[in-house]
Amino acid sequence: MNPIESKVLGKQISHPREYAPEILVAVPRQLNREQYHIHEQSLPFIGVDAWHAYELGFLTQKGLPVAGILKMVYACNSQFLVESKSLKLYLNSFNMGKYGNNRKDGIALVLETIKTDLTKLLKTEVELAFYTQYEQNSYDFNDYILLEDEQEANNVSFDVYKENMDLLTSTKTDKTQELKVSTNLLRSNCRITHQPDWGSAFIHLKSKHQIDKIALLKYLVSIRNENHFHEEICEMLYKRLLDKFEPEILMVACLYTRRGGIDICPVRANKKEYLPPNIIRAELLTKQAFRQ
């Protein structure tokens, strides 16, 4: 385990009873990117990490509890990502604190505090919004085909559960193929604890390779026993598809199931216009994917 991560990962730690910014942990992204030949100075993608924290709460100065959903977004070109367990503990440290004379003032004060702490930690701009009810119902992935619903998925054998790029097969032609596909079978494991992480993956790909959709599903299934953080899985998938299919369009989104009251939704694309427009914005609370 990296010394930076060992601060909270794999350890039993009591929830802080008071505001505790010191518990936050920043993890260098480059630790995992090196093995996939992803270089900080020439990233092959743009994108964001969008987080939803469903258990943020605090008290007003008069003792009224305030609870809601925090949406947090920051760019993938930041040097660091925030480790999710440390973020959970940090957000819980607000629970019994008193902020503001009323709900509105308290929310503003708490958001400003969180924004300041995370911006300092990650050395990048962090966008935040707080929701006490669902105000939006936008969704970016209505027209994506679910790979496991393909009839052929029932007729082939799946027996590889360790990431294997060779499972990706295609035929290069002069004809361009565009795919928008998804799966609710996304599963990987935490890099440190090896606990399972579940989610949905969405891929938008346009290439002169005629791509075998079942082979693509087999590849996605093959990451079942990979041990990486959520952001790292998304970037691994992106880089494998980039190297294999030389795409004109490539977007990968991994929307993970919440764990510890937080879900992480990394999104990567080769151009800004291919990023899903709603989930990447803190000011929109989007409709959840099936596995979220």
Catalytic residues: 190, 197
Looking at this protein, which amino acid is placed at residue 210?
Answer: Q
Which tokens belong to 165?
A: 């790029």
User: In the chain, at which residue ranges do the beta strands (DSSP E only) sit?
Assistant: 26-28, 46-59, 65-75, 80-82, 126-131, 145-146, 170-189, 196-211, 249-256, 262-269
Alpha-carbon distance of 24 to 85, in angstroms, equals 9
Dihedral through CA 77, CA 83, CA 87, CA 90, nearest 10? -120
Alpha carbon distances (Å) from 192 to 5, 8, 57, 83, 285: 9, 11, 28, 11, 30
Pairing state between β 65-75 and 196-211:
unpaired
Alpha carbon distances (Å) from 61 to 1, 26, 94, 104, 258: 41, 31, 13, 12, 30
In order, the DSSP letters of 112-180 are HHHHHHHHHHHTS-EEEEEESS------S-TTPEEGGGSGGGGTS-----S--GGG--EEEEEEEEEEE
Pairing state between β 26-28 and 65-75:
unpaired
DSSP state of 281: -
Which residues touch 104 (CB under 8 Å, ≥6 apart)?
none
Alpha-carbon distance of 225 to 200, in angstroms, equals 16
